[in-house]
Amino acid sequence: TSITSAKIQVNGVHLHYQQTGEGSHAVLLLPGMLGCGQTDFGPQLKSMNKQLFTIVAWDPRGYGQSIPPSRDFPPDFFERDAKDAVDLMQALKFKKFSLLGWSDGGITALIAAAKYPTLIHKLVVWGANASVTQEDVRIYNGIRDVSKWSEKVKKPLEEMYGHKYFAKTCEAWVDGISRFAEKSDGNICQQLLPDIKCPTFIIHGEKDPLVPQAHAEYIHKHIKGSRLLLMPEGKHNLHLRFAEDFNRQVEDFLH
């Protein structure tokens, strides 16, 4: 089945999304920092089971083709993304749906599952964190300067945004997410985790250079009945690098 692209007005912005499949189980894919459906979820849009699932990948406001507006990072940017994501799926007439969130998209998905429990069927997150430590801030500052990124990771984002917007937005993201570390507990959404009642699957790459494993373990510990899968060779982009294994694990869980 083909992948369609469209825009729909949600909360005053025109959000871009891609959609494929005709299954009865709707699934929303939530991308990471600077990411969008096109850059972050190629293997999922292409290869996930289209008989079982209807798959939607969105571009959060200021990312991908959901520009304008330009991306900014107010203190509640994760809550804003969570509301946008849920309202997008409602605008598309999905009454209930599952969330697959990577990295920042995982944080957004955790918040959405906690705040809108009647709408969320199942939840899968990987490369996500519920708080920001001083160690995390050190890691984020290591990626502040996009000219130091590997060509492979940098290229699709430069093509999407142009160098200037890409570089500026990455710096703004580092500043925005580092602000959470100024709170005593570095909290992003820790207090919401016990409110997540839907079946939850946490996947973590043991070689993830951006998100230490303790984050995945914390989320697992505080979401009752959740499952944790550690992938020994997985890094941050394990759903791209090990797409076949990842897709199979996730489909089994959702099914």
Average pLDDT value for residue range 107-126: 98
Annotation says 103 is catalytic: yes
Q: For residue range 238-250, what is the model confidence (pLDDT) as tens digits? A: 999 999 999 999 9
Q: Where are the domains of the chain?
A: 3-254
Annotation says 236 is catalytic: yes
The pLDDT assigned to 60 comes to 98
Question: Which one from 16, 81, 98, 103 is the annotated catalytic residue?
Answer: 103
Closest CA to 203 of 57, 102, 56: 102
- Is residue 208 scored above 90 in pLDDT? yes
Euclidean distance between CA atoms 65 and 63, whole angstroms: 6
Annotation says 208 is catalytic: yes
Q: What is the strand order of the sheet 200-205 is part of?
A: 4-10, 13-20, 53-59, 25-30, 97-102, 120-126, 200-205, 227-231
53-59 and 13-20 beta bridge pairing: antiparallel
- Is residue 147 scored above 90 in pLDDT? yes
Question: Which one from 40, 59, 104, 208 is the annotated catalytic residue?
Answer: 208
- Is residue 47 scored above 90 in pLDDT? yes
The pLDDT assigned to 156 comes to 93
The pLDDT assigned to 184 comes to 86
Domain 3-254 of CATH type 3.30.2230.10: no
The pLDDT assigned to 222 comes to 98
- Is residue 88 scored above 90 in pLDDT? yes
Euclidean distance between CA atoms 124 and 199, whole angstroms: 9
- Is residue 1 scored above 80 in pLDDT? no
pLDDT band at 176 (very low <50, low <70, confident <90, very high): very high
When the pLDDT of each residue in the chain is averaged and rounded to a whole number, the result is: 97
